[in-house]
Structure 1
Amino acid sequence: MKVIGLGKERVSDFVLYCKKHRMEIDDSYLYDMDLQEFEVSEDHPTYIVTNEKEEIVAAASLVLDDYHRRGKRARFRIFHSEMEDIQVYQHLLQALLNHTSDLDKIFLFIPVVNKKLTDAIEGLKFTLDRYSFVLVREDLDLSEMGLPVGYELRPFRPGEDEENWRLVRNAAFATLKGSETPITIEGVTKLLTDHDYLEGGMMLLFHQGHPVGVIRGADDEYENSPIMNIGPVAIIPAYQGLGLGRSLLRASLKFAKEQGYKRTILSVNGENERAQALYIKEGFKQVEAVACYHYFL
């Protein structure tokens, strides 16, 4: 067994390993399009473990893009071993730590059913931070959106609404665990070019001409079938508790149905009980639970 940095000549083998095991772990950065675009770089430090046949039997990779760097953290793309040996994880972790000198922590999400990886992570002194739940809504009857007088909901206008989106999203998520890092104008613009972008799926809510809410519907896949992913759902603090989140959600569900989707999916932090209650009341059902673990540097 040996730990080596991933070279360009083995990227295809690494991709195959990710595809082989992505159903066992958090696959947020392991979709086909993500893996198709993956390349060895400073933003994606990656190590593999090979056996005597030079086959990959374990892999670890970090996502170190601009957003995560500004938050002084990195997220695992994959942290997985086919061998039940905590030393394999230890060697991979030590290799990755050489790329974290400017960071405060690294983190990953683990499906709660994956006890093997959970035990390994806890053995490496990772700390449980929070739980997150994945909810799915089948194609049920839609309720009327309904907006109070003085409110307007309209599609995102490229070239005009980037700043409005940034302001609302950052104000709404300033204290939300995992989303505290503000996004930039560049980050908003990137949403318009991502492979999951749906024209008309990004919407803004205005009150008397001022932006107060945003919601996004994006193309996704779940259980090998198309699904629309809803998120973020964001209302600035001064307007929370007025039922506006429900209106945004219903508008996004209506958009999904118009686009031909049979199901929608979203995720919510475990401590956000108000949002979780809203989603369940609006027809969503919990299908997965994941735990977020931090490793403080």
Structure 2
Amino acid sequence: MRVEVLKPDRVNGFIEYCRKHRNEVDDSFLYEEDLKEFTPNAENPTYIVLDEQGEIIGAASLIIDEYNRRGQRARFRIFHSEVEEPDIYKELLRGLLKHTEGLRKIYIFIPLNNQRLISVMTQLDFSVERYAFLLVRENSDVLEWSIPQDYRIQSFRSGVDEKIWSEVRNAGFAKLKGNETPVTPEMVAKMAEGNDYLEGGMKILYHLETPVGIVRGADDEYEGAPIMNIGPLAIIPEYQGQGLGRLLLRASLQFAKEKGYHKTILSVNGENERAQALYVNEGFRQVEGVACYEYIFQA
């Protein structure tokens, strides 16, 4: 077996490997649209493991895009081996670390039922930064909701609201683990141009003329069926604790129902107990859990 950097003539094999094993790992960046656009480069350093016949039996790839680099970090796209040997993971990690100059950490989400990989990460000196949970709701009835006086909900306007959206999101998530890095108006613009964009799904809550909250409903798939993904949902600190998050959640659930979705899905950080309680009270149930493992570079 040998570990080598992914070269252009092996990209198709790498993509097939990702397809084969994406159900065993966090597949957030292993959807078909992600794999279709994948290119090994400075933003996507990638290594593969080859057996004696030259077949790919392992792969590791980092995402070091503009957003992650601003946060001085990199996220794994995949970190997997068909052979249960810690030394293989060590060699893959050693290769990737050559591409992390200027960063302070790399991180990976691992499903809690993947005990094999969790054991490997512990041996590689990764530690748990946080937990996150995936929640699903059957779109039956949406509880009644009404907009308080002096408030209004307005649909996102492309080319107009990118700065407003990013400012509200950044204020609301400033202290939320894993989301501290601000998003830019340019990133919001790309969000509104994505294949998962739903017209009217991005909403902004105003108090008089002040934008105080946002929510996004996007097209997604779960267990082979269409589903609407809710997130981000954020309220600026000065307006939190007033039931406005519940208001935006119900508005998004109503939107999903109008669009014909039978289910909605969202993710929540484990330490965000207030949000978890809100979602459970609104009919969501936990279906999956993941641990975010991080490897922090020594100063």
The answer to whether the 8 Å contact 1:145/1:248 transfers is no
| CA deviation after TM superposition for structure 1 residue 163, in Å | 1.1
1:124 and 2:91 aligned:
no
What are the Cα deviations for residues 34-92 of structure 1, in whole angstroms up to 9, with x where unaligned?
11111111100000000011111000000111000000000000000101100000000
Please show how residues 1-297 of structure 1 align to structure 2 within 5 Å.
1-297=1-297
SS for the counterpart of 1:234 is strand
Tell me how far apart the structure 2 counterparts of residues 3 and 145 of structure 1 sit (CA, whole Å).
Answer: 56
SS for the counterpart of 2:206 is strand
| CA deviation after TM superposition for structure 1 residue 196, in Å | 1.1
Tell me how far apart the structure 1 counterparts of residues 206 and 95 of structure 2 sit (CA, whole Å).
Answer: 48
The answer to whether the 8 Å contact 1:140/1:283 transfers is no
SS for the counterpart of 1:203 is strand
The answer to whether the 8 Å contact 1:135/1:266 transfers is yes
Return the letter of the residue paired with 2:259. Q
SS for the counterpart of 1:165 is helix
| CA deviation after TM superposition for structure 1 residue 145, in Å | 2.3
Tell me how far apart the structure 2 counterparts of residues 159 and 211 of structure 1 sit (CA, whole Å).
Answer: 17
The answer to whether the 8 Å contact 1:127/1:293 transfers is yes
The answer to whether the 8 Å contact 1:155/1:204 transfers is yes
Tell me how far apart the structure 2 counterparts of residues 193 and 87 of structure 1 sit (CA, whole Å).
Answer: 42
Tell me how far apart the structure 2 counterparts of residues 251 and 38 of structure 1 sit (CA, whole Å).
Answer: 35
The answer to whether the 8 Å contact 2:60/2:78 transfers is yes
Return the letter of the residue paired with 1:289. G
Return the letter of the residue paired with 2:192. L
Tell me how far apart the structure 2 counterparts of residues 193 and 103 of structure 1 sit (CA, whole Å).
Answer: 29
Tell me how far apart the structure 2 counterparts of residues 110 and 211 of structure 1 sit (CA, whole Å).
Answer: 35
Count residues with an aligned counterpart: 297
Structure 1 segments of 4 or more deviating over 2 A? none
The answer to whether the 8 Å contact 1:152/1:205 transfers is yes
The answer to whether the 8 Å contact 1:128/1:294 transfers is yes
Return the letter of the residue paired with 1:43. E
| CA deviation after TM superposition for structure 1 residue 233, in Å | 0.4
What are the Cα deviations for residues 203-231 of structure 1, in whole angstroms up to 9, with x where unaligned?
00000111000000111110011101000
Q: Which sections of structure 2, spanning at least 5 residues, go unmatched?
A: none
Return the letter of the residue paired with 2:126. F
The answer to whether the 8 Å contact 2:139/2:253 transfers is no
Q: Which sections of structure 1, spanning at least 5 residues, go unmatched?
A: none
| CA deviation after TM superposition for structure 1 residue 195, in Å | 1.6
Return the letter of the residue paired with 1:287. V
The answer to whether the 8 Å contact 1:152/1:207 transfers is yes
TM-score (norm 2): 0.98
The answer to whether the 8 Å contact 1:233/1:245 transfers is yes
SS for the counterpart of 1:35 is helix
The answer to whether the 8 Å contact 1:127/1:295 transfers is yes
The answer to whether the 8 Å contact 2:215/2:234 transfers is yes
